[in-house]
A and B are shown apart, each in its own frame.
Chain A
């Protein structure tokens, strides 16, 4: 057995539900989420990385899920239409009363263009800094800033929140403490 195999087996055995949950935040259907998780696992383990812990491997895959959700969206010609429809079919009726729910949040997140969605997800779900988000997505820091700003404008409008681009930037502290979700 090679070095990567025990970690792969442990990851799939112990962390699969959490990975699937992350993917469901970004995809319309469960089937798409399952495909996305598998794609992210393959992409992560296909490279010659050495993981110090299961938590580290999981974090890598969680971020890869976000990155690959962006790539997958590029490939799907009709996907934009599905994104646009998704919020309408899943948002709660509470928004009419000005109360956003987590269901609305997911629907709104799914409705963002792929790059914008990926940037917002990494900033708000992974608490990555702009610099780290840029590296993860192979974008410039300026582009990330702009995508996050655009995404938050849409989310705030749809959810009634007041998030600003500077609200999620505590990843530096967490990372330096060695904290891994």
Chain B
């Protein structure tokens, strides 16, 4: 099911681009369950409301919105922007911005390459991988 209606969020995102919330596709509605991996090579903005198990790899740009009430179990979710309002067990990697809302519950690891924002109330049990820095041939 795809929908363009404005999603209901408890708190407005501060980092996740507002325009994406207006245009994202709901690929997993509330109360639905899905298992399997997902990948896309084009810019895609997806929203999960149900229970998802698998990997999501958005290779070129793209965003993932794990909505309030969604439960995701994953080896890896990777996209430019990731907005978590639900529950994640596993590793999530945002190439640009990662935002955890007050209802976010993450057990595993988060990785961000540019920006990270956690609202009061968000919980992480695990680790935070910050951006790497590289120094060229200083030996």
User: Does A associate with B in a complex?
Assistant: no
A residues lining the B interface (CB < 8 Å): none
B residues lining the A interface (CB < 8 Å): none
